[in-house]
Amino acid sequence: MTQPVLSVVMPCFNEEGTIETVARLVLASPYTAELIIVDDGSTDGTLTAARRIDDRRVRVFAQGHNQGKGAALRRGFSEVRAPLVIVQDADLEYDPADFDQLLAPLLEDKADVVYGSRFEAGRPHRVLYFWHSVGNRFLTTLSNMFSNLNLTDMETCYKAFRREVIQSFQVEEDRFGVEPEITAKVARGGWRVYEVGISYAGRTYAEGKKIGWRDGIRAFYCIVRYSGLFERGARMRRRVPPPAGFDEADSELALMLDDLDGVSPLETVSPPHSREVS
């Protein structure tokens, strides 16, 4: 008999139309011991819908104002109680029916962390943005170069962990930079990492997709920042210190991205009649 061993952390922002459906699918899994919903300052009825879910395994936390996916995950990870932890988006892009594949390496004690890859062969996925696919593979390759892992999908939402892994470090990134940050810290921790194929039903921007090209720039920065490159260099040469301060670098990057807000996002530009692959 399958034991409920899984804490599911679900960050959400303005997902009123899907959150109850996703929660029902998560709670239908025999692995689910608890569902931790963190509302990140939604301006629609998401929080009300979350509190309407009548199941003793559900705990709902409200951030008060929008801080970002990373901030919501930081709150959720601090609340988990079960031995295994997984991240679940509150839209319908990722299917909890894939929990079986994701948890198998953990339950068999082959892995400490499992990534669900949208690019592994043999799994169905919706055909969407070509340039998103290119950008994702580029960032994954760059991340692999710094982490010495060989992932195919670093940016995936579906990451499953042993609880001691995700609570062995503090999540610092507030927005989507959390994906390369977690990957870098997992790699630096020497944890056993597996990757399995998952299905994926990506959304368009009209349907509520939130990640954009500015997040790609931040991801590039986070790959370098959390890789430990500067610390390793200083140890090797004993004369090259880390940058004067990452807080200053963060502030400079934030200002630059704010200045670029008026520029048309690259992801919305595509040739007529083109088909884009996510």
pLDDT class of 259 with cuts at 50, 70, 90: low
Give the per-residue pLDDT at 126: 56
Domain 6-126+154-173+182-205 matching CATH 3.30.70.100: the answer reads no
Which tokens in the block code for residue 134? 């290119």
Percent residues over pLDDT 70 in the chain: 75
* 24-39 average pLDDT score: 98
Note whether 98 and 122 are within 8 A (CB): no
pLDDT class of 268 with cuts at 50, 70, 90: very low
Note whether 251 and 98 are within 8 A (CB): no
CB atoms within 10 A of CB 132: 21
Tens digits of residue pLDDT in 123-163: 665 555 566 778 889 999 999 999 999 999 999 999 999 99
Give the per-residue pLDDT at 276: 41
Tens digits of residue pLDDT in 82-119: 999 999 999 999 999 999 999 999 999 999 999 999 98
Give the per-residue pLDDT at 234: 55
Note whether 128 and 278 are within 8 A (CB): yes
Q: Higher-confidence residue: 38 or 203?
A: 38
Q: Higher-confidence residue: 124 or 62?
A: 62
Note whether 158 and 87 are within 8 A (CB): yes
* 157-180 average pLDDT score: 96
Give the per-residue pLDDT at 272: 41
pLDDT class of 274 with cuts at 50, 70, 90: very low
Give the per-residue pLDDT at 142: 96
The rounded distance, in Å, linking the Cα atoms of 17 and 275 is 27
pLDDT at 194 over 60: yes
Q: Higher-confidence residue: 275 or 138?
A: 138
Note whether 16 and 46 are within 8 A (CB): yes
Give the per-residue pLDDT at 236: 58
- In this structure, of 51-55, 100-104, 120-124, 163-167, the range with the lowest mean pLDDT score is 120-124
Q: What is the mean pLDDT of the chain?
A: 85
Q: Where are the domains of the chain?
A: 6-126+154-173+182-205
pLDDT class of 273 with cuts at 50, 70, 90: very low
